[in-house]
């Protein structure tokens, strides 16, 4: 069976990749196309200073709960790169661009953005993907 588009977010090593199962990505990254009906996925790679790790993790834990309760937030997750200590990835899924933009205007998010540069050990990178279709693929556990 062919699927026109699968979004696969893999946090193995430093890889976040977008895979098109059918070989055609199409109109994946057009801001004006499907502005209010397109799922947004925001990712960030954050290298954190070792001494900032405790406050970074505490802040992320404190912000995750209210962020996940915001209108339009489908998921908000933080992962650590197992091959690069203190390098974290955030992956956020938003139902609409409006929901994502509203999140950025919350006082907690604004305060976090002001604190983050002091915790960084290097250059942070982020991406925003507009996805026209989301399909959940479930892999059952192996049975022995």
3-state helix/strand/coil string of 34-89: CCCCCEEEEEEEEEECHHHHHHHHHHHHHHHHHHHCCCCEEEEEEEECCCCCCEEE
Asked if residue 47 is part of any domain, the answer here is yes
CATH number at residue 94: 3.30.70.100
Domain residues for the domain of 65 are 39-131
pLDDT digits (tens, 9 = 90+) for 90-133: 999 999 999 999 999 988 888 999 999 999 999 999 999 999 88
Q: Could you give the CA distance from residue 113 to residue 105 in angstroms, rounded to a whole number?
A: 11
Asked if residue 32 is part of any domain, the answer here is no
| pTM, entire model | 0.69
Place of tokens 């956020």: 92
What's the rounded mean pLDDT across residues 78-82? 97
Asked if residue 26 is part of any domain, the answer here is no
Q: How many CB atoms lie within 10 A of CB 18?
A: 18
Asked if residue 116 is part of any domain, the answer here is yes
For β-strands 125-131 and 73-80, DSSP reports them as: unpaired
Asked if residue 80 is part of any domain, the answer here is yes
Q: How many domains does the chain have?
A: 1
Q: Could you give the CA distance from residue 87 to residue 81 in angstroms, rounded to a whole number?
A: 6
Place of tokens 């397109």: 38
Average pLDDT for the chain: 78
Note the pLDDT of residue 38: 80
């Amino acid at each position: 069976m062919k699927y026109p588009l699968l979004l696969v977010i893999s946090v193995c090593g430093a890889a976040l990749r977008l895979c098109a199962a059918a070989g055609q990505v199409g109109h994946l990254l057009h801001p004006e196309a499907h502005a209010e009906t397109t799922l947004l996925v925001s990712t960030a790679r954050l290298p954190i200073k070792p001494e900032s790790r405790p406050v970074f993790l505490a802040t992320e834990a404190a912000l995750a709960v209210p962020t996940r309760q915001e209108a339009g937030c489908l998921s908000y997750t933080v992962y650590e790169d197992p091959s690069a200590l203190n390098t974290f990835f955030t992956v956020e899924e938003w139902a609409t661009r409006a929901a994502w933009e509203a999140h950025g205007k919350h006082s907690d998010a604004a305060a976090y953005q002001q604190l983050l540069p002091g915790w960084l050990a290097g250059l942070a990178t982020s991406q925003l993907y507009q996805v026209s279709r989301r399909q959940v693929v479930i892999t059952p556990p192996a049975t022995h």
